[in-house]
Structure 1
Amino acid sequence: MTNRTRRLLFIVIYGAALIVLLNYQPIHHYISTIKNVQVVNGDRNENEKARLRAQIEKWKEGREEQPIDAVVDQTWKAIPGYNGRVVDVEESINKMLATGVSSPDLLVYKEVPPAVSLEQLGAQPIYRGNPNKPAISFMINVAWGNEYLDSMLNTLDKHKVKTTFFLDGSWVKRYPEEAKKILARGHEIGNHAYSHPDMNTLGTQRIHQEISRTQDVIYKTLEVKPSLFAPPSGAFNQRVVQIAHSSYQMNTILWTADTIDWQKPSPAYVINKISRKMGNGVLVLMHPTSTSEASLDQLLTIAKKKGLQPTTVSEVISSRRLPSP
């Protein structure tokens, strides 16, 4: 590199450095500016949070609900509790800040369990869910009626409903593929004793046999362990309830409304009868029969129109609140 070239290069570098120096602002000034912007934004954010918090406190009024304890009723025996709800203020604020929308529709709730739960009531029969829970179950006891099962399963699929099938143990033994079909469609499985006996007349040993044999065959066939027991024909006594509860950790389930479909009434009769009895927490008893096959679709439609969510027995008797539609 010649001396002339070196001088030119020096002049270029010197000139560039001079330009930078002339336009230079101390870095501390830049940092200070950024901090000031952050403080302003932080103040605005805190002010917005304070505004939302005050608004949410007003919106809370009339929207929060106290939990309802489980009780033993003289008529309905064990009635499950129902969770209350309170507004989660901080989560509601975060949601509104994230969406940029301030609305009571964006309130976030937390469930509050009752002080007394169904489990705390001990061995009691259950005829219904909590009357404040907008859920209903069309539970199906199965010991016969294979020819109607596919149609009823298809109707449940059509309505996107999962329900509870209480299975007779000897039926599962004879028709394992039918039982697997019910489970494969996503339905809850319950225990319906083994040989459809009158449980009210049985001694302790036989009660154990009826329940345990059915538990065993259901587990062997379906690999599920039912937590619900429906005594055949609704025949039971306190000894049956106590054994199911203490020895098998099962709730004994009866019903609120009976289709009496085994008597072969007309579908119109069943639809009229059951629709009048539909309500929060109702358990409807049916079987795979021609009557229930023909009436199930309309019953599900009516239940939904009444604002009820058809679901499993376990969901109906749970204290959990249903998600908002």
Structure 2
Amino acid sequence: MVDIGRRAALAALLAAGLVPCADAGAASRTPVTEGTAVPSGPRPPASLLGEEIRRLPTSRKVVALTFNAAWDEAGIDTVLAELRRRALPATFFPTGAFAAAHPRAVRTIGAAHGLGNHSYSHPYFEELTTAQRVEEVRRADAAIRKASGTEPLPFFRFPYSATTRDCVTDVNDLGYAAIEFTADTNGYLGPQGGMSVEAAVERAVDALSPGAIIQMHVGSSGDGTVLDAEALPLVIDAAEAGGYTVVDLRAFLVP
């Protein structure tokens, strides 16, 4: 599923930044062939396959913090410092183009946190053929591996959160779980998009429930502002005050 307003806002940020859009052909699907799978580490359990995951399969009061990285490095140091200060995990989903352009940042992130796959060039996956989707995932995996020097997680997040059943099947066939989110703080919109730190925190707090996955972004909103970096301490405070524990997505690789 896809939010049209979200697509437009993210597309504008990407157009102003580093990430080129992939050429989209007529969407069609042929089975992913043997030998195209990418992850060489643990595979996702069956509970994470067959659909886009917007909530972790648990009844415990836990929440996962995730960050997408697709344009610039703004806010990364602030986010990492806050997570380090609190000894908390997060999962980052860089694009391959981001990893190629900012290898030092990706290596720093990967030294402390899990790295998922957010495609190479942030295209609309529902507009791609299966072969094009495979190329996006494989190319991103190679770039993230090269930049980080670590084994990426078998977690894929669709650009623009735009998914179809065929898209999910294709990434599952490649060995990835489709990890989306319960709520996005929308901090990436920045003040010019009508967002504030308080509004970003409120969106995260409103989504708190067992197994919630919160999506945030690193990278500036165009005016140098990184609302999610500023909101992160308040989001964590609110979650902990509500009795929630921040968990690592990697814990859910165990069946």
Shorter-chain TM-score tier: 0.7 to 0.9
For 1:307, what is the secondary structure of its paired residue?
coil
In our comparison, the structure showing a higher alpha carbon Rg is 1
Greater displacement, 119-128 / 160-169: 119-128
For 2:152, what is the secondary structure of its paired residue?
coil
Judging changes above 3 Å, is the alpha-carbon distance between structure 1 residues 276 and 170 closer, same or farther for their aligned structure 2 residues? same
CA contact (8 A) 2:49 2:178 kept: no
* Alignment RMSD: 1.9
How far 1:305 sits from its partner (Å)?
Answer: 1.5
Q: Quick check: 1:129 aligned with 2:56? A: yes
From 125, 131, 147, the counterpart of 1:199: 125
How far 1:279 sits from its partner (Å)?
Answer: 1.8
CA contact (8 A) 1:283 1:313 kept: no
From 217, 227, 232, the counterpart of 2:159: 232
From 217, 230, 248, the counterpart of 1:294: 230
Q: Quick check: 1:253 aligned with 2:189? A: no
For 1:146, what is the secondary structure of its paired residue?
coil
How far 1:309 sits from its partner (Å)?
Answer: 1.3
Which sections of structure 2, spanning at least 5 residues, go unmatched? 1-43, 221-225
State the Cα deviation string for residues 120-179 of structure 1 (Å, max 9, x = none). 674221110135122111100101231210011111111111110001001101111110
From 179, 188, 203, the counterpart of 1:273: 203
| Superposition pairs of residues 1-325 of structure 1, within 5 angstroms | 118-119=45-46, 122-184=49-111, 186-221=112-147, 222-246=149-173, 248-264=174-190, 265-288=195-218, 289=220, 290-315=226-251, 317=252
For 2:116, what is the secondary structure of its paired residue?
strand
1:93 corresponds to: none
Q: TM-score scaled by structure 2? A: 0.74
Distance 1:313 1:122 in 2: 15
Distance 1:172 1:250 in 2: 19
1:114 corresponds to: none
Distance 1:254 1:193 in 2: 13
State the Cα deviation string for residues 86-126 of structure 1 (Å, max 9, x = none). xxxxxxxxxxxxxxxxxxxxxxxxxxxxxxx9516742211
For 1:125, what is the secondary structure of its paired residue?
coil
Q: Which runs of 4+ in 1 moved over 3 A?
A: 317-320
Q: Identity percentage over the alignment?
A: 23
How far 1:242 sits from its partner (Å)?
Answer: 1.2
Distance 2:118 2:48 in 1: 23
Distance 1:120 1:179 in 2: 29
For 1:191, what is the secondary structure of its paired residue?
coil
User: What is the number of equivalent residue pairs in this alignment?
Assistant: 201
2:211 partner amino acid:
G
Higher relative contact order (CA 8 A, sep 6+): 2
Which sections of structure 1, spanning at least 5 residues, go unmatched? 1-116, 321-325
